[in-house]
Amino acid sequence: KVIWTLLITILGYSSSLPVGDDSICAAEELAKYSIIFTGKWSQTAFPKQYPLYRPPAQWSSMLGVTHSSDYSMWKKNEYASNGVRDFAEKGEAWVLMKEIEEAGEKIQSVHGIFSAPAISSGTGQTSTELEVHSRHPLVSFVVRIVPSPDWFVGIDSLNLCGGDHWMEEVSVDLFPYDAGTDSGFTFSSPNFATIPQDTVTEITCSSPSHPANSFYYPKLKILPPIAQVTMVKLKKNQLGLPVSHLNLPAKSNEIIESMSETPLDCEVSQWSSWGLCRGPCGKTGTKIRTRFVLLQPANDGTPCPDLDEETGCEPDNCI
């Protein structure tokens, strides 16, 4: 009877532990990190269909979580949750936040949620801080690619615990993913739901294998990283409190700003056909043709030319 009671006690304790490699983290209980997200989505690196307007290339806010292996925000080759779908398609975080909260309440698998501000251009940086726990050493996050049908970048369950210590610094190159919920090929594709829903897949230079794909570069072996994330462990002061610092040199920020200043010349359509000749009979009349702006100029690019042109003509149907 004593042995049976002891066995039940051991099983009950072990069932409350997170499942997976994170259960053997022997580092100190808590650690804080700064997380720096760097967008590398430039027109130089990704010239095909690069979004310059309506809206220009940019990044949504970052939404992330520290957790145990009992929880998964998203996984490659698995179906995206409703929350990930809403975030990847529209940048709406409410459903995903609810899913995270429910997972934390139900199976005690979530330690904390973190977020970082959006980036208003394809290149730039945003940052925040996160806290991991020895029983919740995994980090996951998503950042939406804007504009896009349902494309995002992120990390799935990165373990910051190195057995008996926390990693001092981790840097990861990021590549685009398709959430599998929208069938658009290009950045500006209209909403066209994928029915039935597909799994989350990595977008590469050859997949989807379609010339219309905005990331289709058949001459490349691999896409350049579209973003990068760096996590740096924060040191503690004498009181044991984390010291908040990011160590971001000004030179790095200057390079990012200069990369986003790409001159963009105005583009206009072909001329329309000439309109009707108008004027009194026996005198020279006028007719007009027009064109419209396809692409507004930006960053000191060539301004738009005249959009109307007038010429003389002989009025029609005169008696």
Q: Tell me: pLDDT of 107 over 90.
A: no
Write the pLDDT tens digit of every residue in 58-71: 999 999 999 999 99
Question: Is the pLDDT reported for residue 245 higher than 60?
Answer: no
What pLDDT score was predicted for residue 79?
97
Exposed/middle/buried for 97, CB within 10 Å: 0-12, 13-18, 19+? Answer: middle
Beta bridge partners, 2, equal none
39-48, 206-215, 243-252, range with the lowest pLDDT: 243-252
Which two three-digit tokens encode residue 262?
């790409």
The residues spanned by each domain of the chain are 31-233, 267-313
Higher pLDDT, 13 or 92: 92
Higher pLDDT, 164 or 16: 164
How much is the pLDDT for 199? 97
CA distance linking residue 297 with residue 202, whole number of Å: 33
Q: Which two tokens stand for residue 231?
A: 């996590």
Under a CB-based contact definition with an 8 Å cutoff, are residues 93 and 100 in contact?
no
CATH of span 267-313: 2.20.100.10
pTM as predicted: 0.70
pLDDT score at 284: 87
Q: What is the mean pLDDT of the chain?
A: 83
The single residue listed with the structure tokens 């738009």 is 304
Task: Check residue 85 and give its pLDDT.
Answer: 97
Q: Quick check: helix, strand or coil at residue 194?
A: coil
Return d(Cα 157, Cα 161) in angstroms, integer.
12
pLDDT (0 to 100) of residue 251: 36
Q: Quick one: DSSP state of residue 304? A: P
Whose tokens are 């994330």? That residue is 229
Q: Which residues contact 234 (CB under 8 A, 6 or more apart)?
A: 31, 32, 33, 34, 129, 242, 243, 244, 245
Which position has the higher pLDDT, 8 or 191? 191
> Which amino acid would we find at residue 275?
G
What pLDDT is recorded for position 260? 37
Question: What pLDDT is recorded for position 262?
Answer: 32
Q: Is the pLDDT of residue 187 over 80?
A: yes
pLDDT in tens, 87-102: 999 999 999 999 999 9
Q: Which of 7-21, 160-174, 203-217, 264-278 is least confident?
A: 7-21
Tokens of 308: 């109307």
DSSP E strands in the chain: the ranges are: 30-40, 58-67, 110-116, 123-133, 138-146, 151-159, 169-174, 177-178, 201-202, 227-233, 267-268, 285-290, 293-295, 308-313
pLDDT for 23 equals: 58
Residue 45 tokens read as 């690196």
Sorting pLDDT into bands at 50, 70 and 90, what band is 18?
very low
At 267, the pLDDT band (50, 70, 90 cuts) reads: confident
Q: Quote the percentage of the chain above a pLDDT of 70.
A: 81
pLDDT at 236 over 80: no
31-233 sits in which CATH class?
Answer: mainly beta
One-letter amino acid at 24 equals: I
